[in-house]
Every structure is written in C-alpha cells, then in structure tokens.
Structure 1
C-alpha cells in the first residue's frame, strides 16, 4: 500500500505543479506577450483567469457548507436519540 500512496502523492504533486505553472504563466507572463503571438492559442481569454478561480471557490465553499450542515444535523439526531 505504501507504493500506491507514494504514486498517488507524486501524481498529485505533478498535477498541482503543472496547474500552478500554467496559471502563473497565463496570468503573469502572457499579458506582456504580443496578442498575435502563437502562444496565445494555448490559453483561454484573460477573463477566465478570474472567473475560473471564483467559480472553483464558490463550489468549494458550497460543498464545505453542505458537509458542515450534514454533520450538524447528524450530531443533532444523535443527541435526540440519547
């Protein structure tokens, strides 16, 4: 099992580093490159650089609130059963 955990950890690290590198290049470096350069075809428009993290944050907060609400309801049912 230890080998599988290491493989999953390595894969998650590579994916995280790839996303970080892509996003950093997209947000910090790409605005200084000419708009007619070929590299622009590999990236989404700049508006999405803000919209995607906002959407991901809203989804994450929604799932977090649902989880906390579910746990609170479950603990409330346990207290009533006692």
Structure 2
C-alpha cells in the first residue's frame, strides 16, 4: 500500500507542478510575447486566466458548503436518536 500511496503522491505533485508552470507562463510571460508568435496557439485567451480560477474557487466553496451542511444535518439526526 505504501508504494501505491507514493505513486499517487508523485502523480498529484507532477500534475500540480505542471498546472502551476502552465498558468504562470500563461499569466506572467505570455503578455510580453508578440501576438503573432506560435506559442499563443497553445494557450486560451487571457480572459480565461481570471475566469477559470474564479469559477473553480466558487465551485469549491459551494461543494464544501454543501458537504459541511450535510455533515451537520447528519450529526444532528444522530444526536436526536
């Protein structure tokens, strides 16, 4: 089991570093590259650099709120019984 945990941790860390590098290049470096350069073909428009993290954050907050509410309701029912 320990080997599987390490493999999953390595995969998650690799994905995180890849997303961080892609986003950092997209937001910080890409605005200084000419619009005609071929590297712009690999990135979404700049508007999405703000919209995607905002939507992800709102979705995460909504999911956490529903989860916490569900756990609170479930624990309240256990106290009644």
- Normalising by the smaller structure, the TM-score range is over 0.9
Task: Normalising by structure 1, report the TM-score.
Answer: 0.97
Q: How far, CA to CA, are the matches of 1:15 and 1:65 in structure 2?
A: 26
In structure 1, C-alpha distance between the alignment counterparts of 2:79 and 2:4, rounded to whole Å: 39
Q: Tell me what 1:59 maps to.
A: 59
- Residue 45 (str. 1) matches residue 50 (str. 2): no
Under a length normalisation based on structure 2, what TM-score does the superposition of the two structures give?
A: 0.98
Which runs of 4 or more aligned residues in structure 1 lie more than 4 Å from their structure 2 counterparts after TM superposition?
none
Q: Give distance in 2, aligned partners of 1:48 and 1:65.
A: 25
| Aligned-partner Cα distance in 2 for 1:49–1:63 | 22
Q: Structure 2 regions of 5+ residues with no counterpart? A: none
Aligned residues between the structures: 81
What RMSD over aligned residues (CA atoms) do the two structures have, in Å? 0.4
Q: Deviations over 1:20-58 (max 9, x none)?
A: 000000000000000010000000000000000000001
